Amino acid sequence: MSTSLQGRTAVVTGAGRGLGRAEALELARLGANVVVNDFGAPGRDGSGAVSAAPADETVAAILAEGGSAVAHYGDVADLDAARELVDLAVDRFGRLDVLVNNAGILRDRMVFSMSQDEWDSVVRVHLRGHFATTRAAAAHWRDRAKQSGAPVYGRIVNTSSEAFVAGSAGQPNYAAAKGGIVGLTLSCASALARYGVTSNVICPRARTRMTEDVFVGSMGAPDQGVDPLAPEHVSPLVGYLASPAAHHVNGQLFVVHGGMVAVLGQPPVLAKFDAAKDFFTPAELDEQLSPFYDARTPGDGYANLSVLGLTRDAAKGD
């Protein structure tokens, strides 16, 4: 099927810079009208001259390529602002078809040193921000489906992280929020399919302003050649998931970076233990569980560290 988004409208949050900007540009190149959200309105510098907001810069880049876009400066974690974001898409372009949730911040700290504000701010922007925009978009699509009596076209692409999959030690707030986003995505995939809406989630690895202190040293930007952590490695997958071609893709989790896309599957059930009677006793659990864990590698738990080693097989692409 087609990957064209001609005539459709997409909202991309956190699209002023980095990954969100690359995604907004990709969707516009596929033909979509784009509502570019990034927190912070235009301001004035020391001379009084108006300085463009990041969202305006992305809009300008889309317009320069012949696309159609409008800026939105609201806080996506605020339910009223999220509803206004959806309303802006409908009022300006007549419809909403795609929601890409990307906005986020980092406040890295070990769990024993993390402040309440560092926890709350990250969970608010990432998890509540995903919820607020999804709530507004889902209500819009449900109303349209009820009015027409038929499914609508709706695509949600959420942004999680390998920090959740692998359990990043110095990011308890970020990992928790990103894990919550996966749960939100799966719930929406089940709840909204009847209305024609798909909901998927990506775990991107990309070099952006937010991650500039993360990807350093051996993972720094190369002096020449293609940067394997360029955001442009991620945006084509977002374009695909937003398109008609992905109509049958729902409730899926992808890891994407450096010319590679990996599909993560269902967590396996490694073992099952049964009580001899109606209830377990601690001693009986010790008898059954302890030998199982004695035979396993220490630290080999639910976290999937193998995803951190996934790379593109160059032989396939050359």
Active site residue ranges: 161, 174, 178
One-letter identity of residue 179: G
| Measured CA distances, 315 to 12, 134, 136, 311 (Å) | 34, 40, 44, 12
Place of tokens 């970076």: 257
Indicate the DSSP class of residue 31: T
> CA angle, corner 227, sides to 28 and 245, nearest 5?
35
Please state, as a whole number, how many other Cβ atoms lie within 10 Å of the Cβ of residue 126.
30
Instruction: Tokens for 288, please give them.
Output: 């059954």
**What residues form DSSP beta bridges with 44?**
50
**Cβ–Cβ contacts within 10 Å for residue 150, how many?**
10
Cβ atoms of 27 and 39 closer than 8 Å: no
